[in-house]
A and B are shown apart, each in its own frame.
Chain A
Amino acid sequence: KNEVEQSPQNLTAQEGEFITINCSYSVGISALHWLQQHPGGGIVSLFMLSSGKKKHGRLIATINIQEKHSSLHITASHPRDSAVYICAVGLYSGGGADGLTFGKGTHLIIQP
């Protein structure tokens, strides 16, 4: 079973700070997702990574396949970034893609 561990569980920071959320997983994967969930439940897919680094606006995601580790960074954080950030991994086994396995999420609060 592929376990996904996220850290920290909770993070409170001041507006403008650089934020890092970490994700580690235990077995080989096909891809890793970073998801954002706002109060009310809706989930938005931020990134899907299978190698290297991706950037979208103030968000940067990196993955190290050998170390089975990914990080999500937020530069110049803003109160609207307050949300739960969830790491999820997916496996393609040749017979098709399995459902995602999720971390427990990081609850981020950015204070003005």
Chain B
Amino acid sequence: EAGVTQSPTHLIKTRGQQATLRCSPISGHTSVYWYQQALGLGLQFLLWYDEGEERNRGNFPPRFSGRQFPNYSSELNVNALELEDSALYLCASSLNGGLSSYNEQFFGPGTRLTVL
């Protein structure tokens, strides 16, 4: 069974541009979580999507947004890129997002975003 996949592996952008990151969950998983791992800051929760809806978001500005498609894959969009957005962005998926119970999250390999 394929795990969580993310694309691209690496992404280089300049300040002010937009970045789009993609995530495909494990087959059968309906929830997708996005996390940011900036240098020196550790992992932080960004966004949670389940059944096509945004269920929760972390303490990030509105220029971090995303969506979930009918096949449960997800996009993370970062607008008006700033230098401090340079980070590893990790996606995780789980069964039904814990709407009925707590479910384990499985992580993808990440997308490394560099903003110049």
Contact A99 B102 (CB under 8 A): no
Contact A100 B45 (CB under 8 A): yes
- Residue total for A at the interface (Cβ-Cβ under 8 A): 25
Closest chain B CB from A30 CB (angstroms): 4
Per the bound structure, the CA–CA distance linking A88 and B112 in Å amounts to 21
Is the C-beta of B77 less than 8 angstroms from some C-beta in chain A? no
> What mask results when residues 65 to 79 of chain A are scored 1 for a CB within 8 Å of chain B, else 0?
000000000000000
Q: With contacts defined as CB atoms under 8 Å apart, how many contacts are there between chain A and chain B in the complex?
A: 72
- Chain B: CB-nearest residue to A47: B104
Among the listed stretches B50-58, B62-70, B78-86, which one makes contact with chain A, having 4 or more residues with CB under 8 Å of it? B50-58
Per the bound structure, the CA–CA distance linking A41 and B37 in Å amounts to 9
- B102: which of A90, A102, A103, A105 is its contact (CB, 8 Å)? A90
SS class, residues of chain B in contact with chain A: strand
Per the bound structure, the CA–CA distance linking A27 and B5 in Å amounts to 32
Contact A102 B43 (CB under 8 A): yes
Is the C-beta of B25 less than 8 angstroms from some C-beta in chain A? no
Contact A42 B110 (CB under 8 A): yes
Per the bound structure, the CA–CA distance linking A42 and B109 in Å amounts to 4
- B104: which of A45, A102, A105 is its contact (CB, 8 Å)? A45
- Chain B: CB-nearest residue to A1: B59
> What mask results when residues 73 to 116 of chain B are scored 1 for a CB within 8 Å of chain A, else 0?
00000000000000010100010011101111111011010000
Contact A96 B107 (CB under 8 A): no
Is the C-beta of B72 less than 8 angstroms from some C-beta in chain A? no
Closest chain B CB from A87 CB (angstroms): 11
Per the bound structure, the CA–CA distance linking A62 and B99 in Å amounts to 26
Per the bound structure, the CA–CA distance linking A48 and B105 in Å amounts to 9
Which B residues touch A48, using CB under 8 A? 104
Closest chain B CB from A99 CB (angstroms): 3
Contact B50 A96 (CB under 8 A): yes
Per the bound structure, the CA–CA distance linking A43 and B37 in Å amounts to 11
Chain A contacts to B: CB under 8 angstroms = 30-31, 33, 35, 41-45, 48, 50, 86, 88, 90, 92, 96-105
Chain B contacts to A: CB under 8 angstroms = 31, 33, 35, 37, 42-48, 50, 55-56, 58, 88, 90, 94, 97-99, 101-107, 109-110, 112
